[in-house]
């Protein structure tokens, strides 16, 4: 019996900021993000290219030290206990992070071992996740022999190996065909439904945010410019609950989510 999600924050940030010192002058990629994400929530983190989505994600996953502000992720302080954060989260980067020569099984077991599971437990967990995500027939294939959708599922399995409280997905469906996208959406919903896992996902696709996210946060130029449920945003910014999220997004940022903006860093 899955436990119903309780509205306690699993991510809280105050003034989270990141400045890149460049020879040409500092670039303020993220200028102060105040964000609360509730346990069990699926949060869509939207914004045009260069808005600071990936920088924020890299800070929340401890890959990039913030240059300002504070954050608590999965009960641990981001600055002072980053190892504690890493124990309790999963991260699936856009680039995925699969070694093409490794088998699916080896990738899963290694990831479990990196999370300090004993060998037998890591193997067991790998088998369990493979069954759960329909990867069992692929376990002994090298990851280079997988289709795009299969690769994504393996990458997500890696992010779930430690039963994280929060899983961060960076543009999870970019480059997937429509069938694989639909499967991935189902998978994300299932992860939340079955394990109460909080899902923090960035995306370019407004239909994806509309279909998946309980709540949407729109960032632009390093700050949050709007947030609410998809219906809220449509009603508030496009003036009509029946409008598309695209209309709302355009009204908020003045440009489309997929426009080719120069990428800041």
Distance between first and last Cα of the chain: 45
d(CA 163, CA 13): 23
Q: Does 102 bind another protein (CB under 8 A)?
A: yes
Please, which residues bridge with residue 235 across strands? none
Cα separation, 106 vs 126, in Å, equals 9
Does residue 99 touch another protein according to CB under 8 A?
yes
> Which residue from 162, 180, 202, 203 is in contact with another protein, where contact means CB under 8 A?
162
Which CB atom, from 66 or from 230, has the smaller least distance to another protein?
Answer: 66
Please tell me whether residue 54 binds another protein under the rule CB under 8 A. no
One residue of 27, 64, 221, 251 binding another protein per CB under 8 A: 64
Stretch that binds another protein, among 37-45, 103-111, 185-193, 195-203 (CB under 8 A): 103-111
Site membership for another protein, residue 83 (CB under 8 A): yes
Q: Which of residues 201-260 bind another protein (CB under 8 A)?
A: none
- Exactly one of 28, 53, 86, 151 binds another protein (CB under 8 A); that residue is 86
SS3 229: coil
CA separation for the pair 163, 168 (Å, rounded): 13
- What whole-number distance in Å separates Cα of residue 152 and Cα of residue 170? 11
We find the least distance from the C-beta atom of residue 171 to another protein, in angstroms, to be 12
Tokens of 150: 């299969």
The C-alpha atoms of residue 70 and residue 84 are separated, in whole angstroms, by 15
In eight-state DSSP terms, residue 240 is -
Q: Residues 105 to 134: which contact another protein by CB under 8 A?
A: 106, 110-111, 113-116
Residue ranges binding another protein (CB under 8 A): 61-65, 83, 86-87, 89-91, 93-102, 106, 110-111, 113-116, 158, 162, 265
């Amino acid at each position: 019996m899955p436990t119903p999600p309780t509205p306690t924050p699993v991510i809280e940030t105050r003034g989270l900021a990141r400045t890149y010192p460049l020879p040409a002058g500092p670039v303020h990629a993220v200028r102060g993000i105040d964000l609360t994400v509730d346990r069990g929530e699926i949060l869509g983190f939207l914004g045009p290219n260069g808005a600071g989505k990936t920088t924020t994600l890299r800070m929340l996953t401890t890959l990039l030290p913030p240059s300002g502000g504070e954050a608590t992720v999965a009960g641990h302080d981001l600055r002072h206990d980053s190892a504690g954060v890493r124990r309790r989260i999963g991260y699936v980067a856009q680039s995925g992070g699969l070694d093409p020569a490794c088998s699916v099984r080896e990738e899963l077991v290694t990831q479990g071992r990196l999370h300090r599971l004993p060998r037998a437990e890591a193997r067991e967990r790998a088998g369990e996740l493979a069954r759960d995500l329909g990867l069992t027939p692929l376990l002994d294939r090298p990851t280079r022999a997988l289709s795009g959708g299969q690769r994504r599922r393996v990458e997500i399995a890696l992010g779930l190996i430690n039963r994280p409280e929060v899983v961060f997905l960076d543009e999870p469906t970019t480059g997937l065909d429509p069938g694989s996208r639909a499967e991935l959406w189902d998978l994300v919903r299932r992860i939340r439904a079955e394990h109460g896992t909080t899902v923090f996902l960035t995306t370019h696709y407004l239909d994806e945010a509309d279909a998946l996210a309980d709540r949407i946060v729109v960032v632009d130029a390093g700050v949050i410019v709007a947030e609410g449920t998809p219906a809220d945003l449509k009603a508030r910014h496009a003036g009509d609950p029946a409008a598309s999220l695209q209309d709302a997004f355009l009204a908020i940022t003045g440009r489309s989510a997929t426009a080719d903006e120069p990428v800041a860093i």
